[in-house]
């Protein structure tokens, strides 16, 4: 076992410098942080946990792991239309992890907290005999009454998505040694999309800033499964146009060579793109780089995929379930 | 491996019914919760993680574990003078845990969320191949500017404590098969003090309600070590009177039979009583059941124990450090 400092020293050396930047953190001297909520806003709270060898790979760069821990939570804030106010982190480090690993993790976290204006307000650090785990709780502010909810979709809405879908699922395959036919640039792009997601803060905040109705969520467990959460909450159905689904060049190359990969593109997780349902005019009014991929129907719980020949197929359930799959 | 439902089913069956009670939880249909902060208040945020076989014993009643997970965090809110607004929970269940265990955990959590008016607002549920872990983030409200901080102690203050000290440390010894000379009632009392702490919400809120200066913290890792956190933050020292330290009958019996147990009483953790520094008049004004056990000095970082013969001894550092001990 590598010699490692005690909990208090670890926090003082690696995490207190990050937290110094926010008055709310009370310099991590207290067991709690203080947040002054901005007037006219509600507080959005979200929490996501990542466990080694379940949600990230032990051999991944700790800097990237830290960024992912933060960004998957920021993505949930984005899906509600919130701007970040701060985060608290629980870190359960495996007892054999080196202090270098922890230092690299703290560096990555600090950089991204700065980049997204999401200061570290506090946390808890423990040692575990099991796999390293992180649980991050993120706080955001959204104008009162403007949070985007999953129960707000209506029949006749169009469905828009940010960025491109499927990259992360294929990136994981690349990292696991698959998709060997792709060129190195495509492989590197796809891997990076798995390792470091891009939370769509700007799109979320733009939706919440206006007066229009938007239902939204982030696609973390795959479009196929995740879209049903809006269907359930809003009592609607959906039809997607396969030809409209935005693909990166790398993913387009991969599915052209091997069409069965469509299953991963539609059902695989970790994209962290926003899925937004609204009137077409309200999507257009965003003036942002989103792609319309389908429409909301009144057939509650029914999700279909329309292919290039206008054939409709029911989209299989699934999505990534941590226990069930 | 016992058959167990998927994550979504687990949440729907055991946790959604608890969360239904709060509008902020959005019925757990969204990945985030919404909190409307009360006017004129700051939000206090605290997080504490518990890992099986580090912070609780695998064989403990899951209902008690749930109550402890909640209460150690409520104790941090109490130490800041806050009243609870809600909590979010990350649960990482070992893959072999039965659904019965999880159901019992959820029951305990729901009961205590009700009892302390701290609704479950959301969370994340994952499976882990390692030890079961929980990370709970609690939110409270404190009148703006009235949060009790560790840096507010001043030389000349008295030091008061709620409840009795040492019970939990001795309770853990009982649970581990020790202290066999104690009678059954004492053993049961001490064990319960370890298993289910009593967060001192009323005392904390009373302090924050007035205009006087209070510095406070909860004693979670033992008086000996924890008191130094106030010493460091406030740049002061402390002298405790051993004879004044409030002991339960059970602990008094134990230390009378075996004076070496004083070390556990002073240095052992898990009491979750509040340590409050303030002017004597401001302690008296609380009109609550607290005991004055010492005074704050200007000898920065120096902590002494005065015994019945007025002899002073330096109190050894220590406290429970998750990595260092």
Residues on chain A touching B147 (C-beta within 8 angstroms): 32, 34
Assign 3-state DSSP to chain A and report helix, strand, coil percentages, each to 5. Answer: 40, 25, 35
Residues on chain B touching A324 (C-beta within 8 angstroms): 5-9
For residue A35, give the nearest of B42, B128, B324 by CB distance. Answer: B42
Band of pLDDT at residue A323, cut at 50, 70 and 90 = very low
Would you state the pLDDT for residue B245?
Answer: 96
Inter-chain touch A31–B46, beta carbons under 8 Å: yes
Secondary structure string (H, E, C) spanning B65-94: HHHHHHHHHHHHHHHHCCEEEEEEEEEEEE
In this model, does residue A79 exceed pLDDT 70?
Answer: yes
Fold match between B8-143 and B157-314?
no
Q: Does A37 touch chain B (CB under 8 A)?
A: yes
Q: Does B289 touch chain A (CB under 8 A)?
A: no
CA of A88: which chain B residue's CA is closest?
B47
Cα Rg of chain B, angstroms: 20
Residues on chain A touching B151 (C-beta within 8 angstroms): 26, 29
Would you state the pLDDT for residue B322?
Answer: 41
Strands B312-314 and B303-306, bridge-based pairing: antiparallel
Mean of the pLDDT values across residues A64-77?
96
Suggest the residue from B72, B144, B319, B323 to mutate for an interface test with chain A (most A CBs closer than 10 A).
Answer: B323
A120 to each of A20, B129, B169, how far by Cα in Å? 9, 28, 32
Q: Does B155 touch chain A (CB under 8 A)?
A: no
Strands B83-94 and B120-128, bridge-based pairing: parallel
Inter-chain touch A324–B7, beta carbons under 8 Å: yes
Would you state the pLDDT for residue B312?
Answer: 87
Write out the H or E segment, with its range, that includes residue A290. Answer: strand A290-297
The least confident of A8-12, A45-49, A142-146, B70-74 is A8-12
Q: Minimal Cα–Cα distance from A163 to chain B, Å?
A: 20
pLDDT digits (tens, 9 = 90+) for A137-162: 999 999 999 999 999 999 999 999 99
Would you state the pLDDT for residue A318?
Answer: 53
Categorise residue B87: left if φ over 0, alpha if ψ from -120 to 50, beta otherwise. Answer: beta
Inter-chain touch B42–A26, beta carbons under 8 Å: no
CA of A142: which chain B residue's CA is closest?
B34
The least confident of A39-43, A318-322, B43-47, B239-243 is A318-322
In this model, does residue A21 exceed pLDDT 70?
Answer: no
Suggest the residue from A30, A90, A126, A325 to mutate for an interface test with chain B (most B CBs closer than 10 A).
Answer: A30
The least confident of A161-175, A300-314, B229-243 is A300-314
Compute φ and ψ for A305, nearest 5 degrees.
Answer: -120, 125
Q: Which residues pair with A133 in a beta bridge?
A: A51, A92
d(CA A141, CA A89): 19
Instruction: Give domain limits for chain A.
Output: 8-143, 157-314
Would you state the pLDDT for residue B113?
Answer: 95
Mean of the pLDDT values across residues A86-110?
93
Q: Does domain A8-143 have CATH number 3.30.1330.10?
A: yes
Residues on chain B touching A130 (C-beta within 8 angstroms): 51, 128-131, 133
Q: Residue A8 in 3-state DSSP?
A: helix
In this model, does residue A31 exceed pLDDT 80?
Answer: no
d(CA A228, CA A292): 17
Residues 6+ apart with CB under 8 A from B177: none
CB atoms within 10 A of CB B312: 10
Per CATH, the number for B157-314 is 3.90.650.10
Q: Minimal Cα–Cα distance from A107 to chain B, Å?
A: 21
Cα Rg of chain A, angstroms: 20
Would you state the pLDDT for residue A223?
Answer: 94
Mean pLDDT by 10 residues, chain B (325 residues): 58 73 60 83 93 89 96 96 95 92 94 95 90 95 93 97 97 95 96 96 94 95 92 96 96 94 92 97 90 97 90 71 36
Residues on chain B touching A123 (C-beta within 8 angstroms): 47
Q: Does A131 touch chain B (CB under 8 A)?
A: yes
């Amino acid at each position: 076992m590598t010699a490692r400092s005690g909990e208090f020293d670890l926090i003082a050396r690696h995490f207190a410098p990050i937290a110094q930047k926010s008055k709310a953190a009370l310099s991590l001297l207290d067991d709690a942080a203080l947040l002054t909520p901005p007037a006219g806003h509600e507080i959005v709270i979200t929490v996501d946990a990542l466990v080694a060898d379940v949600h990230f790979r032990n051999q991944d760069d700790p800097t990237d792991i830290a960024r992912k821990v933060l960004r998957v939570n920021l993505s949930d804030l984005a899906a509600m239309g919130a701007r970040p106010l701060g985060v608290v982190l629980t870190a359960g480090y495996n007892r054999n992890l080196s202090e270098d690993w922890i230092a690299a993790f703290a560096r990555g976290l600090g950089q991204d907290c700065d980049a997204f204006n999401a200061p570290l307000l506090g946390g808890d650090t423990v040692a575990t005999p099991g796999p390293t785990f992180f649980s991050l709780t993120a706080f955001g502010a959204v104008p009162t009454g403007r949070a985007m909810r999953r129960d707000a979709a209506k029949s006749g809405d169009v469905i828009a998505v940010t960025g491109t879908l499927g990259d992360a699922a294929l990136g994981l395959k690349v990292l696991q040694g698959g998709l060997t036919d792709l060129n190195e640039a495509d492989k590197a792009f796809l891997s990076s999309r798995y390792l470091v997601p891009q939370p769509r803060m700007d799109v979320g905040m733009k939706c919440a800033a206006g007066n229009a109705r938007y239902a939204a969520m982030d696609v973390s467990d795959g479009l196929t499964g995740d879209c049903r959460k809006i269907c359930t909450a809003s009592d609607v159905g959906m039809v997607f146009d396969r030809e409209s689904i935005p693909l990166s060049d790398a993913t387009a190359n991969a599915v052209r060579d091997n069409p069965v990969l469509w299953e991963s593109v539609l059902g695989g997780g970790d994209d962290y793109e926003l899925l937004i349902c609204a009137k077409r005019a309200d999507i257009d009014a965003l003036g942002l780089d989103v792609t319309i991929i389908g429409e909301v129907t009144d057939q509650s719980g029914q999700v279909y995929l329309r292919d290039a020949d206008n054939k409709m197929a029911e989209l299989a359930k699934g999505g990534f379930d941590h226990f069930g799959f």
